[in-house]
């Protein structure tokens, strides 16, 4: 009898993928009842691909610059993702705005991390905007992806104080540290089906004792 296959996670990156690294390391260190099956990038030069390959994880490139349209790019990307039959698709610095059709295809499985305390500062340049606005608290948000960019149901947040002498680099580093803490935990909760979603509210259920390698159904 063949052993049951672990639920799979596919991670999408565009660059270094430090949050991808955090998920991969947590999955191995904590012996999740799941596996990172693939890392896919829209850029062939993304440094994160090499890290994934060194961990023995399958990698693929779907270069958006070679596609004839956004729809053609997303169709190829979806085919690549679906080959791994993922229980979760995690965006880790994937710098593409996804169409509503693509998002609906992965409804309930698509998760993202954003470097602000949403709904504050959606979009790009969050750390500079936080400093310029004079807020006293900044941070990171993990959310389920919906067609409205950076507005999905919030799974987890981590506040970070803004200091009077902060530079953009200093604030970025402190927020990134929190991203690496909360994102793996949120992805694991998604794979283990511990997220109860009601509208925009998400309840994260406590983990039940699971033996390493046991498949969550």
Q: Cite the active site residues.
A: 114
Query: What are 144's strand-pairing partners?
Result: 111
> Would you say 196 and 205 are in contact if contact means Cβ atoms under 8 Å apart?
yes
Peptide bond into 119 cis (omega under 30): yes
Count of helices and strands (H, E) across the chain: 6, 9
52 φ, ψ (degrees, to nearest 5): -60, -45
Query: What are 8's strand-pairing partners?
Result: 35, 86
Cα distance between residue 142 and residue 106, in whole Å: 16
Name the residue with tokens 């750390």: 127
63 φ, ψ (degrees, to nearest 5): -80, 115
Which is nearest to 57 in space by CA: 105, 106, 90? 90
Cα distance between residue 137 and residue 152, in whole Å: 21
């Amino acid at each position: 009898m063949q052993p049951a296959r672990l639920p799979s996670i596919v991670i999408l990156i565009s660059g270094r993928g430090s949050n991808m690294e955090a998920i991969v390391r947590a999955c191995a260190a904590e012996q999740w009842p799941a596996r990172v099956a693939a890392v896919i990038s829209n850029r062939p030069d993304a440094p994160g691909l090499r890290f994934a390959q060194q961990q023995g994880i399958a990698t693929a490139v779907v270069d958006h610059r070679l596609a004839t349209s956004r729809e053609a790019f997303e169709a190829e990307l979806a085919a690549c993702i679906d080959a791994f039959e993922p229980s979760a698709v995690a965006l880790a610095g994937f710098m593409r705005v996804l169409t509503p059709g693509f998002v609906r295809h992965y409804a309930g499985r698509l998760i993202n991390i954003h470097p602000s305390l949403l709904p504050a500062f959606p979009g790009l340049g969050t750390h500079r905007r936080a400093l310029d606005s004079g807020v006293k608290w900044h941070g990171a948000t993990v959310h389920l992806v919906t067609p409205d960019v950076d507005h999905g149901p919030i799974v987890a947040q981590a506040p970070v104080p803004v200091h009077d002498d902060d530079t953009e680099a200093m604030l970025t580093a402190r927020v990134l540290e929190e991203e690496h803490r909360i994102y793996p935990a949120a992805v694991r909760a998604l794979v283990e089906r511990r997220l109860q979603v009601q509208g925009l509210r998400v309840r994260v259920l406590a983990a039940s004792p699971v033996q390493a390698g046991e498949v969550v159904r």
